[in-house]
Structure 1
Amino acid sequence: MAEPNTGRAAIPRATRRRAGAVLRPLTRHPRAVALLRRLAPRSVRTRTTLAACVSVAVVMLAASAVVMLLLRVNLEHTVETGAREETRALSRLAAAGGLTPQLPLGPGTDFIQVVDAHGKVVAQSQNLTGRPALAPTGVHEGHRTYNLDALGEKHDQRVTTVTTATPTGPVTIHVGASLRTADTAEDITTAALAALSTVLILTVGALTWRTTGRALRPVEAIRAEVAAISDRGLDRRVPAPRGDDEIARLADTMNAMLERLEAAGIRQRRFIADASHELRSPLAVLRTQLEVAHTHPDPKVRDTLVEGALQDTERLQALSADLLLLARLDATGQSRAEEPVDLTDLVRTTVASRSTDPHPVALHTSVDITVPGSPLWLSRLLTNLLDNAQRHAGRRVTVRLTADPVTGDAVLDVANDGPRIDPGDREKIFERFTRLDDARSRDDGGTGLGLSIAADIAALHGGSITVRDTSDGVTFRTRITAVPRG
């Protein structure tokens, strides 16, 4: 069998190498790279649409190639089967000595030629009358190639060649089967697949462009709203689309962040205003005392004024230290130290160091408790609670450390027998610069930051502070998550 070369050759390798040699320097040139980057789509919508179209195009190209290959193989197999049947029939006829000079053409057969061992044509179809015997001109794709220009046809041929014995000697039978139907079917299928692929790619591109635009419209609204929010407009919120998809969750997260920023801004402005007020009063008093002491002629009065100035200086120093600690706590945020702290030993050491306090402190601990955190800050938490208890206690202060029987959390109670706190003020006392008895707190040297610092330290360690009434006073209860026991 043989098939003529139809001229459908792939791009030569040398041509591809020359094209690559031309394009490769362009990719290395800075201006070419910059141009390619500028031409690259920047929009997510455009990139998504292009990616969808390219993906569909690749899939359709691969599918079309498979379809065309299967179609071609099937059609050629059908043609070859018909040619082989025609060849077997002629072989049986030749073996019986029934060949005639003119042979009829069967369906799908283009020509027939029978040649004897000496190269003489002994029988042929009418369209090859007077033509010499076919001679191979080469090998194409594993098949012999024959010169069929005598037929005046430009379509492909599949030539089946069989040698058989006859009463007058062996003969070679050539049967040429036309691939005109296969070529026509291939062309029609190629055009149909190209049209279908084009329509499908355009449809996918349009749907992707529309769907992506609708999906990204809320994102653009969120971006525009966030861009319009300034440090003075933190009360604004981004539009939240309906549903529970990723964009809706993004909007909810952005609004939650804006709420935190707004709360932090309000807290910061209130803190700055309160700090300015708290610093302005002692500084004014200190300056007045020093000016009077500087000009007063009586040494005793000057000593009294200087002593008052020293007290105000100590108060300013304590206030500055508390403000710096609050700034550190605010900067720390939610990151908590994970150093194991022996809370029982820390409580015992802190209480023992306060032996000179105006009221005795009774300590009750029965278990060893370890918590993750910072020993310096936990000590400051207990110190602030003890300072508050000492300031308001009548005669005694009690510290009790226990473990919650259910959760295992550390429970630290600091109680005093002073006046109780109204339920409406139990949250307010933990705000910065809050004094329920402002005059007495100033006289006792309180800054109004002790309980706020204690609450922030407890929150930083995953705990909380609550106020509870007792039969003889008030208790500040601190809960801190303990290290699980192994």
Structure 2
Amino acid sequence: MRGRLRLRTRLTVISVLGLAAGLAAGGIGLTAALAFALERSAEADARTTGDAIVQLAAVGALPDPMPVAGDDVRVQVVDGQGRVSAASIGADRLVPMLYADERAHLAADPGGALIISGDRLGMRGPVRVILVTTGDPADQRFVLVARSMADISRSIALVRVSVLLAFPLLVAGVAVVVWRAVGAALRPVERLRAGAVEITGGDQAGHLPVPDGGDEIHRLAVTLNDMLDRQEAARVRQRAFVADAAHELRSPLTNLRTELEVAQRLGERADWAAVAGNLLADSQRLARLVDDLLLLARADQEQTGDRGALLGAIGPVELGELIASVTARYPRPPVRVVPPAEPLWIEGDPDALVRVLANLLDNAVRHAHSEVLVTARTGADRWHELLVVDDGPGIPAADRMRVFDRFTRLDDARARDAGGAGLGLAIVAQLVRRHSGTIELADAEPLVAELGIDRPLAGRGLWAQVRFPAGEVEADPDADPVDGE
């Protein structure tokens, strides 16, 4: 433990100390309540006896000696001069039980009582004395009833000793019960810990043991297993990403090295201008690949729905201006632009939206036979749509979701320089998602008439539809148009 108690020990100590404090308070309260009840009962009996004597005195029928119940009770009737006129068996017939000032004090407090030493009356232990007044003021007499408290004190002491003897036994028994109960409650936690040690100690995915029942430990185990599943899935994705990235980076690096080695061997016979051109093309491809990998790495670090570092400044963007600025880089044909009928404003990062459209156009131009059409329109429920259509071979329905995965190529036989690294559509999906939009792929042939294409497509064609929420506030008409990267 090294300076710190185990959780089971701490919980047991805290529980036992709390229960011990409660039992101690209860024992003290019980003893005090018992003492109070016995004293009040004894005083009530004494007053009952005093009232009975007063009634006998009122009718002039005081017996001598006066009868009392038990040897622990003494009764005297004392006149105003302190003379004893009647007494019970065992009571002094010459000296009153109380001094004159004591009698005056009790006479002024009819409901009070006085505790005196039993030695004054020849009785055991402390004695409780009450006073009852009888007669008229001219001939006033006092009935004194003394009740020994020895038995009551002995009973209270017996209860106190019993509580003191039972207290440690009860605390010890409770400690054993709590120790075993806490151990049973923490046993699933220990199994979780041992399972976690086994999982972290190996490379294989695993699960923590889930205890029976629907308590907090069960829910904790289920939650931890879900977390482990997510971590394992992330680890698999990370390994695949690293492997694919290393494979993609190897190709341009190999090309660079091959070009340099061949040029070095040829020496002066090498066409250095051509070599420089090839090296520049490979370095540009390598730079684009690194940029794409960095963007996807930032996307992996962000939470879902959090724009974070993946996007820049957010502002109003008009889709018609976006299309015009991006398509200006592409030859016409094959790219054909159909301007939207009205300004279509959305909220987004202009640079990120340029990259979305550029990646879609690159993919469309790469596979189109003769034409790529780009346009935008207003969709349903306050959505704006960006459309890119080509007349290429299209994508089978079963593969239309898979193309958004990283490093996915449906045509594995094509050249890498022509086909790219397989990251373009993955980046498009990430950026569209960060703009709260959606992207769908479909066959373009059924939609030819809707888009105004007046001749049959050379192939089945592909329709890329990107939907963005419509902007709430239109942009300043004097603002600068969207700039490309």
Q: TM-score range by the shorter chain?
A: 0.7 to 0.9
Cα distance in 2 for partners of 1:473, 1:183 equals 106
Partner of 2:42: helix, strand, or coil? Answer: helix
Partner of 2:463: helix, strand, or coil? Answer: strand
Cα distance, 1:428–1:335 mapped onto 2, change above 3 Å: closer
Q: 1:355, CA displacement in angstroms?
A: 1.2
Cα distance in 2 for partners of 1:231, 1:292 equals 49
Which letter does structure 2 place at the counterpart of 1:303? A
For the 8 Å contact 1:400–1:413, the answer to whether it is kept is yes
Cα distance, 1:451–1:161 mapped onto 2, change above 3 Å: same
Aligned twin of 2:400: 426
TM-score where L is the length of structure 1: 0.76
Q: CA RMSD in A?
A: 4.0
Aligned twin of 1:33: none
Which residue, out of 457, 462, 475, partners 1:474? Answer: 462
Q: 1:473, CA displacement in angstroms?
A: 0.8
Which letter does structure 1 place at the counterpart of 2:405? E
User: Are residues 1:128 and 2:91 paired?
Assistant: yes
Which residue, out of 180, 184, 209, partners 1:239? Answer: 209
Which residue, out of 182, 186, 189, partners 1:212? Answer: 182
Cα distance in 2 for partners of 1:158, 1:176 equals 6
Q: 1:111, CA displacement in angstroms?
A: 0.8
Partner of 1:477: helix, strand, or coil? Answer: strand
For the 8 Å contact 1:162–1:172, the answer to whether it is kept is yes
Cα distance in 1 for partners of 2:378, 2:196 equals 47
Query: What is the aligned length?
Result: 446
Aligned twin of 1:436: 410
Aligned twin of 1:281: 251
Aligned twin of 1:395: 370
Give the unaligned 5+ runs of structure 2: 446-459, 474-485
Matches within 5 A, 1:58-457: 58-63=21-26, 67-99=30-62, 102-106=65-69, 110-129=73-92, 132-135=95-98, 143-165=113-135, 169-179=139-149, 182-183=152-153, 186=156, 205-230=175-200, 233-294=203-264, 296=266, 301-334=271-304, 336-337=306-307, 341=314, 345=318, 348-358=321-331, 359-363=334-338, 365=340, 368=344, 370-371=346-347, 374-401=349-376, 405=380, 408=382, 411-438=385-412, 440=414, 442-444=416-418, 446-457=420-431
Cα distance in 2 for partners of 1:244, 1:174 equals 71
Partner of 1:128: helix, strand, or coil? Answer: coil
Comparing 447-456 with 55-64, which one deviates more in the overlay? 55-64
Give the unaligned 5+ runs of structure 1: 1-36
Q: 1:162, CA displacement in angstroms?
A: 2.5
Q: 1:131, CA displacement in angstroms?
A: 6.5
Cα distance, 1:182–1:413 mapped onto 2, change above 3 Å: farther
Q: 1:467, CA displacement in angstroms?
A: 2.6
Cα distance in 2 for partners of 1:46, 1:392 equals 71
Which letter does structure 2 place at the counterpart of 1:110? V
Cα distance, 1:215–1:352 mapped onto 2, change above 3 Å: same
Which letter does structure 1 place at the counterpart of 2:364? A
Cα distance in 2 for partners of 1:108, 1:180 equals 12
Spell out, residue by residue over 1:49-104, the C-alpha distance to the aligned partner (whole angstroms, 9 max, x if none): 44444444455555555555554444433322322222123234345555466332
Aligned twin of 1:3: none
Cα distance, 1:232–1:98 mapped onto 2, change above 3 Å: closer
Partner of 2:182: helix, strand, or coil? Answer: helix
Cα distance, 1:240–1:411 mapped onto 2, change above 3 Å: farther
Cα distance, 1:274–1:54 mapped onto 2, change above 3 Å: same
Cα distance in 1 for partners of 2:398, 2:201 equals 32
Identity of aligned residues (%): 36
Comparing 425-434 with 343-352, which one deviates more in the overlay? 343-352
